[in-house]
Amino acid sequence: MFMLKLIVRNALRHRLRTGLTVIGLLVAVLAFGLLQTVVDAWYAGAQAASNARLITRNAISLVFPLPLNYEARIRGIQGVTSVARSSWFGGVYQSPKNFFAQFAVTPNYLDLYPEFVLSDAERQAWLRDRKGCLVGRQLADLYGFKVGDVLPLRGTIFPGTWEFVVRGIFEGSDAGKITRQMMFHWDYLNETLRKSARQRADQVGIYIVGIEHADSAPSIARAIDATFRNSLAETLTETEQAFQLGFIAMSNEIIAAIRIVSYVVIVIIMAVMANTMAMSARERTAEYATLKTLGFRPGFIALLIVGESAAICALGGGLAIAAMPHAASAFKHFAGTYFPIFEVSNLTLALQAACALAIALAAAIVPAVRAGRVRIVEGLRAIG
């Protein structure tokens, strides 16, 4: 109790300096947590992807489609349970800034994605309506879509004005599932292309392949690609997770920069905290010498400094951790549609606490060693 009183009184001796240091720690640890959460949000789609689904695309690029007749041949490969078609639509809703994913899919697409939960009534309504579409809960909440609404899209890849009717709103099986997307009938897109641009009809963006066992994914992927080797449209087949990570790999430099900046922020506040503790220790040199004169050991003096540093960092770090949910919510609102999933993980909170602890120890170690080694005569002569 005596030690605790000394630590608290030392920390509050210069309240302005301590207050400014706590604010600096709060901002730095909070910024670190937000930047780490941005990185987590970047990987959210890949983390939610399944290794029990394969994606078959054109080996050259996603820009190039695959022939429709590939579906039957993929379905005939041993270990394949189902095959669904999916084509990226790329339409614009009202304004280019209102970006969201739009896919033309076959009805069995939903069978391959059990994490998208849709009522039987809404599914049947969608199947009956050629122009019907399904929207995810996140997308519906973002733009206020309701069942029965007409959703107009201005085509970019497929020119023209397209109108769809919302026939269902699907939920995610858990909070980590991204449902900020829309899907409609692939057959409707294909029939329209047969009338307006026949050369673009009967082509598929990607095939989603359901397999019996996730362990057999590599061998099935090789078998699919071997089937179409030396054809006019060779394929590249990989797990859905690998497919998603391929997109993330395009922005590896950005992700690396965000990570670096998050740790640079911690290093900067560590230097500020170290300067604060050095000033405090230098001002109390005579006091430490007096304590030694009274018989207190160097370890006691070092513990005073480490305790003061830990108390300041615990306050600043604790406030930052407590403020993280509110800051993340505000950041998500500010970021708009860029991050459909922006949740603070327990790992991020643990990293914030670890950073606060590391700052406390790093800032106190040099002043503590110097204070412990101060000579009584030299210390009593010192003027703080």
Band (pLDDT 50/70/90 cuts) for residue 277 is confident
Band (pLDDT 50/70/90 cuts) for residue 148 is very high
pLDDT at 58: 94
SS3 assignment, position 103: strand
Tens-place pLDDT, residues 3-22: 677 777 777 777 888 888 88
Q: Is the pLDDT of residue 197 over 70?
A: yes
More confident residue, 304 or 381: 304
Give the closest residue to 87 by CA, choosing from 182, 178, 169.
182
pLDDT at 4: 76
Nearest 5°: the CA angle 241, 244, 245 is 85
Do 372 and 289 contact (CB within 8 A), yes or no? Answer: no
Tens-place pLDDT, residues 207-266: 999 998 888 999 999 999 999 999 989 999 998 888 877 766 666 778 888 889 988 999
Tens-place pLDDT, residues 300-340: 778 888 888 888 889 999 999 999 988 888 887 776 566 66
% of the chain surpassing 70 pLDDT: 92
Highest mean pLDDT among 45-59, 167-181, 218-232: 218-232
CA dihedral 26, 31, 34, 38 (to 10 degrees): -170
Instruction: Please give the single-letter amino acid code of residue 231.
Output: S
How do the domains of the chain map onto residue ranges?
A: 2-44+252-381, 60-233
SS3 assignment, position 135: strand
Band (pLDDT 50/70/90 cuts) for residue 178 is confident
Mean pLDDT of the chain: 86
pLDDT at 108: 93
Token representation of residue 307: 């305790």
Scan for tokens 């970019």, then name that residue: 156
What whole-number distance in Å separates Cα of residue 33 and Cα of residue 239? 31
pTM passes above 0.75: no
pLDDT at 354: 92
Q: Is the pLDDT of residue 383 over 90?
A: no
Using CA atoms, how far residue 180 sits from 62, 135, 235, in Å, is 21, 7, 28
Token representation of residue 341: 């999933």
pLDDT at 2: 65
Give the closest residue to 163 by CA, choosing from 141, 140, 182.
182
